[in-house]
Chains A and B, each alone.
Chain A
Amino acid sequence: MDESWTKAKAVFAILAIPPVFWLLAFFLIPLGVIWGYSFGENKSLTEIAVNGTFSNYVHAIKPLYLGIILKSFWFAAVTTVLCLIVGFPVAIAITFATEKSKAWLLLLIMLPFWTNLLIRTYALMAVLRTEGYINFTLAFFWNGLSGLTGLLGHPLGAFQPLELLHNNFAVVFGLVYVQLPFMVLPLYAALDRLDRSLLEASLDLGAGHLTTFRRVVVPLATPGIVSGVLVTLIPSIGAYLTPDLLGGPSSQMIANVIERQFKTANDWPFGAALSFLLMYMTFLAIAVQAIVSRNRRARD
């Protein structure tokens, strides 16, 4: 298990060289190149000079782009809060289910999550379109109601479909849809480890279910809440497909701007700088989690 590498150098080399080479050549070098480009500028259409300039980062914090970065954060934060609200009762239900129904419930929550992200987003498009299922249902009831009031001489007029797609609402709706299982699973994992006698004691001593939830369950489940928040927040900030397909022109997020720099605007250094800003935000979030969980462990 803990054999020193010097004892079997040949075996060590056989095991180490292929993965280290792959990681270096096909992962770290590509990222390194992007990192280098983020300090460069376009010389001509095809040439990029890496000259250590910070102009791309300065460009990235101009109001237009800073606004998009903040909006990405805002969308991700709203998504995370909604996932927490929607997911907590679900996690509680799974935790206190019988062993058998627990497995089925977990599968039920996880199954949509194994479906292709693109397909799930497409499915939402069909639901939210002006001629989609929600508007179709609303139109049905509206027309029914209109028929009823028509009998009384006051028809309601033609149904105006709601604009549900291609706006900020659709993006958050889609992000919650996609990220919800990420939230439920860590919450469930934390709640499942919880000592139930504490909850019973709280209820026996006269606290209501809501008080028990607020004063006992939430404090004890904090590590699960923190990791749930992070695994929801981080992918949401960098989401590409959801704002691309469900969002409108004003709901573009940072990933869409990055894509545009590389595919259409052809400003690679600027796109590279934005990519690395996104990476730094991700690392910051992970570092915060590491610190929080270390502090908790130190206290326990």
Chain B
Amino acid sequence: MAGAALRERPGPLDYLSRWPIRAWLWAVVIYLYAPLVTLMAFSFNVSKRNIVWRGFTLDWYKAAFEDSDLITAFGNSLTIALVSTLVSVALGALTALLLWRFRFPAKPALEGALSLPIVVPEICMGVAMLVFFTEILPWPTDLIWPLNLGAIIISHISFSFSFVAIVIRGRLASFNREFEEAAKDLGAGEWRIFWDVIVPHMRPGLLAGALLAFTLSLDDFVITFFTSGPDTTTFPVKVYSMVRFSVTPEVNAASTILIVLTVALTAVALRVSGNAVVAIEAGEGL
């Protein structure tokens, strides 16, 4: 009886069931989702004018898939994301292990330097990379694919491996040192301990870091904008030039594909890693 009475009247702190808060929450959700949902919906619209619904079609997806520039850009994006993820995870894991295991004189300096790629404004990093790859290390433009993407890949690794290092270091913090000692007592060498004890423990962190690096790379526009050339556009850079030109359902179709891809990847990342990725992307690394 008491339970039923409690359920009828919300507790004093049960703000979610109060109508002003509820209405506010709904308004915010509509504000956040309405533009994206309409964008996705109108990628299936017959009318080119984008506002009035004239019927369902997949023509814009067909147009997007037949647009060879767009497909090339998409292929470039995936290649860049894949390569930069592999290198970022390797570098991030080394960094995490280094900071987790050792005490050394320049440790605070290194930690500070590693947080720089996270806090430096994208535009500054973009122009730095532009100058670096034209003046200091001129990247040849006539290399065969995928080597011509090298400059973009290097920039992407530079901004994502710090994020990966934070994720993996977080995972390592929960490592139980006794396992390592047990392995040592049982006669395992340094390498064996690393491979059979530490790496298995790191695995969820490695996976979460990889997914984070992949989405960061796939999403990046500003830094890529400064390092890409006419033959090395990525998907966001290509979409940018389409958006500047006009608002057409073909752009909506291309965007929808990317939205679905990143949401799917993020769902996987959440499954594997709990809230680590959320925390990092929200700037807790700051």
Interface residues of A (CB under 8 A from B): 1-5, 8, 11-12, 14-16, 18-20, 22-23, 26-31, 33-34, 37, 86, 89-90, 92-93, 95-97, 101, 105-120, 122-127, 129, 131-133, 136, 177, 180-182, 185-186, 196, 199-200, 203, 227, 230-231, 234-235, 237-238, 240-241, 245, 255, 258-259, 262, 268, 271-272, 275-276, 278-279, 282-283, 286, 289
Contact partner, A119, options B52, B157, B239, B281, Cβ 8 Å: B239
Instruction: Find chain A residues with CB under 8 A from B35 CB.
Output: 120, 123-124, 126-127, 177
The answer, among B21, B36, B132, for a CB contact under 8 Å with A30, is B132
Contacts of B240 in A (CB 8 A): 118
B13 and A196: CB pair below 8 A? yes
Contact residue among B121, B130, B226, B266 (Cβ-Cβ distance under 8 Å from A114):
B266
- How far is A11 from B286 in the complex, measured between Cα atoms in Å? 29
Q: Are A117 and B263 in contact (CB under 8 A)?
A: no
A118 in complex: contacting residue of B32, B119, B239, B247, CB < 8 Å: B239
Contact yes or no, B121 A279, CB < 8 A: yes
Contact A180 B119 (CB under 8 A): no
**Given the known A-B contacts A117-B219, A119-B258, A126-B35, are A279 and B110 also in contact in the complex, defined by CB atoms under 8 Å?**
no
In the complex, are the beta carbons of A272 and B113 less than 8 A apart?
no
Kindly provide the distance from the CB of A251 to the nearest chain B CB, expressed in whole angstroms: 16
B124 is contacted by which of A31, A127, A180 (Cβ under 8 Å)?
A31
The complex places the Cα of A271 from the Cα of B131 at a distance, in Å, of 11
Which B residues are in CB contact (< 8 Å) with A31?
116, 120, 124-125, 128
Least CB distance from B250 to A in Å reads: 12
A101-B16 in contact (CB<8A): yes
Which residues of chain B have a CB within 8 Å of any CB of chain A?
Answer: 12-16, 20-22, 24-25, 28-29, 31-36, 38-39, 42, 49-52, 90-92, 94-95, 97-98, 100-104, 110, 113-114, 116-117, 119-125, 127-132, 135-136, 154-155, 157-158, 161, 165, 177, 190, 215, 218-219, 221-222, 226, 236, 239-240, 243-244, 247, 251, 255, 258-259, 262-263, 266, 270, 278, 281-283, 286
